Amino acid sequence: MQASRIDVNGRTTKLNDDDETLSTMQTAVGGFVERLQINKDVVLLMNEDGQMLDLPPNHKASKLAGRMILGPVVKITGSKRW
């Protein structure tokens, strides 16, 4: 499993492979986590309250998802499920 954070400015940062906890993912997205399965090997984690918190659009993540995504996102790839 590989995880990277996609910021709203499009910058991607690889996350530590040893720390895949809920707490780490919540910190990365800035709140409670919403999971979106893109395909069998890609999952996006985002802030479930992004609209209520008026988070800015994340255009890079939105393109991956095929819908509007707000705020920072964690992109998880690989066969291991999260």
At 1 the pLDDT is 80
Q: How many angstroms separate the Cα of 46 from the Cα of each of 14, 35, 65, 67?
A: 16, 7, 11, 13
At 78 the pLDDT is 85
Structure confidence by residue, pLDDT tens digits, 52-69: 999 999 999 999 999 999
pTM to 2 decimal places? 0.91
Give me the amino acid identity at 20: E
71 Cβ contact list (under 8 Å, min separation 6): 8, 29, 30, 46, 47, 50, 53, 55, 56, 58
User: Can you list the residues of the chain whose pLDDT is less than 50?
Assistant: none
